[in-house]
Amino acid sequence: MIKKEWKELTGITNTLAHDLSLDENNSTFAYMINKLKNINQNTFNIIDQSLFSMKEKKFDIVLGLNVYQHFMKGKSKMKQFINYIKTLKVKEHFIQVPEYLKIEDSDDIMSLDFITMIIKYGNLKNMIELPSKSRKMYKLF
């Protein structure tokens, strides 16, 4: 089953003339996005590699929607994520996370504490909470 969001994502990405970065090397997701890109004659590039191995770290906008909690798989992944945030240069960062983040080998943290950590280590120092019917969403700028 193809998620409706995938088709919307290809349209948004093409309209905004941005590249699409996929993480966790999910070949099924990359395959589906590439097929939708070709069917819709989209022109964006697909970067199918881990955030941690990307050489480019400068972006206008980063969407971290319900994905960052997957990097909380132990202290080493958390450290790797913090190092990524330290090197990321972005103008706007949209983040959506669950209310509580389960961190393996450590204490769970609340989403606002997680956002505060991103502000502490990142280049963006302003934050607003955006209206959302489900998980909390934040804009950093």
The pLDDT, as a whole number, for residue 20 is: 60
**How many angstroms separate the CA atoms of 136 and 114, rounded?**
12
Question: Would you say residue 3 has pLDDT above 50?
Answer: no
Task: Return all residues near 14 (Cβ < 8 A) that are at least 6 apart.
Answer: 37, 40, 42, 43, 44
Q: How confident is the model at residue 2 (pLDDT cuts 50, 70, 90)?
A: very low
Q: Could you state, in order of their start, the residue ranges of all structural domains in the chain?
A: 1-49, 54-141
d(CA 117, CA 93): 14
- Residue-wise pLDDT tens digits, 93-112: 988 887 776 666 666 677 78
Confidence of residue 4 (pLDDT cuts 50, 70, 90): very low
Mean per-residue pLDDT of the chain: 76
Q: How confident is the model at residue 59, as a pLDDT? A: 84
Rounding to the nearest 10 degrees, give the CA dihedral for residues 31, 23, 59, 39.
10
What is the per-residue pLDDT across 29-57, written as a single tens digit (0 to 9) for each? 777 777 777 777 777 676 667 778 888 88
Sheet holding 127-130, edge to edge: 58-65, 89-96, 137-140, 127-130
The answer to whether the CB of 95 falls within 8 A of the CB of 137 is yes
pTM score > 0.75 for this model?
no
pLDDT digits (tens, 9 = 90+) for 77-94: 888 889 999 999 999 998
**Regarding beta strands 137-140 and 127-130, do their DSSP bridges make them parallel or antiparallel, or are they unpaired?**
antiparallel
What is d(CA 24, CA 22) in angstroms, rounded to the nearest whole number? 7
